[in-house]
Amino acid sequence: MSDLMRMTGLYSGMDTEAVIQQLVSAKSKKVTDLKNEQKKLEWKQTAWQDLNSKIYNLYSKTLSNLRLAGSYSKKSTTVSDPTKATVVANGGAIEGEQTLEVKRLAKAKYITGGKITSANGLKLESSDKLSAIDGGLVGTTIKVKTGSGDDAKTTSIDITADMKISDFVSKLNEAGVKASFDADNQRFFVSASDTGVENSFDFEVEGYTGAGDALKSLGLNKDGGATTVDAQDAQIVLNGVEFTGASNTVTVNGLSITATGTTDGEISINTKTDYDAIYNTIKDFISEYNEIVNEVYSKYNADSARKYNMLTDEEKESMTDEEVEKWENTIKDSLLRKDNDLYKVLNGLTSGVSKGYKVNGETKYLFNFGIGTLNYFEAEENERKALHIDGDADDENTSTKDDKLMKALVEDTEGTIEFFASFCKDMYDNLNKTMEATEYRSIYKVYDDKRLKSEYDDYTKKIKEAEQKLSDYEDRWYKKFSDMEVALSKLQSNQNTVSSMLGM
- Whether the Cβ atoms of residue 473 and residue 1 lie closer than 8 Å to each other: no
Provide the pLDDT for residue 111.
97
Q: Is residue 480 in a domain?
A: no
Specify burial of residue 215 (Cβ count, 10 A radius: 0-12, 13-18, 19+). buried
pLDDT at 476 over 50: yes
pLDDT band at 20; cut points 50, 70, 90: low
pLDDT at 434 over 60: yes
| Ramachandran sector of residue 284 (left: φ over 0; alpha: ψ -120 to 50; beta: rest) | alpha
Chain-centroid distance, C-alpha 196: 35
Q: Is residue 180 in a domain?
A: yes
- Whether the Cβ atoms of residue 100 and residue 85 lie closer than 8 Å to each other: yes
Q: Is 42 in the same domain as 136?
A: no
Q: Is residue 287 in a domain?
A: yes
CA dist 18 to 8, 22, 71, Å?
10, 6, 72
The rounded distance, in Å, linking the Cα atoms of 133 and 101 is: 48
Q: Is residue 92 in a domain?
A: yes
The rounded distance, in Å, linking the Cα atoms of 72 and 413 is: 10
Q: Is 95 in the same domain as 209?
A: no
- Whether the Cβ atoms of residue 225 and residue 219 lie closer than 8 Å to each other: yes
- As a whole number, mean pLDDT of residues 123-140 equals 87
Q: Is 63 in the same domain as 83?
A: no
- As a whole number, mean pLDDT of residues 367-392 equals 93
Q: Is 363 in the same domain as 442?
A: yes
- As a whole number, mean pLDDT of residues 140-168 equals 91
- As a whole number, mean pLDDT of residues 262-284 equals 95
Tell me which range, 2-6, 399-403, 497-501, is most confidently predicted by mean pLDDT.
399-403
Q: Is 435 in the same domain as 348?
A: yes
Provide the pLDDT for residue 211.
39
Q: Is residue 388 in a domain?
A: yes
- Whether the Cβ atoms of residue 353 and residue 290 lie closer than 8 Å to each other: no
The rounded distance, in Å, linking the Cα atoms of 67 and 62 is: 9
Q: Is residue 326 in a domain?
A: no
Q: Is 186 in the same domain as 240?
A: no
- Whether the Cβ atoms of residue 115 and residue 225 lie closer than 8 Å to each other: yes
Q: Is 201 in the same domain as 238?
A: no
Q: Is 149 in the same domain as 80?
A: no
Q: Is 101 in the same domain as 114?
A: no
pLDDT at 332 over 70: yes
Provide the pLDDT for residue 14.
55
Q: Is residue 64 in a domain?
A: yes
Which residues, 6 or more positions from 195, have their beta carbon under 8 angstroms from its beta carbon? 106, 107, 108, 231, 234, 246, 247, 248
The rounded distance, in Å, linking the Cα atoms of 193 and 100 is: 28
- Residue type at 345? V
Q: Is 288 in the same domain as 392?
A: yes
pLDDT at 355 over 90: yes
What pLDDT digit, counting tens, does each position of 54-80 carry?
Answer: 999 999 999 999 999 989 988 999 999
Provide the pLDDT for residue 134.
84
The rounded distance, in Å, linking the Cα atoms of 177 and 145 is: 9
What contacts 24+ positions apart, CB below 8 Å, involve 29-34?
Answer: 30/466, 30/470, 31/463, 31/466, 31/467, 31/470, 32/312, 34/459, 34/462, 34/463, 34/466
- As a whole number, mean pLDDT of residues 429-458 equals 95
What pLDDT digit, counting tens, does each position of 79-88 carry?
Answer: 999 999 999 9
Count how many domains the chain has: 3
What pLDDT digit, counting tens, does each position of 173-213 carry?
Answer: 999 999 999 999 999 999 999 999 999 999 988 755 443 57
pLDDT at 388 over 60: yes
- Residue type at 52? N
- Look up the domain containing 119 and give its range: 110-229
Q: Is 116 in the same domain as 211?
A: yes
Hey, how many other C-beta atoms are within 10 angstroms of the C-beta on 484? 16
Q: Is 42 in the same domain as 99?
A: no
Q: Is residue 309 in a domain?
A: no
Mean pLDDT for the chain overall: 89
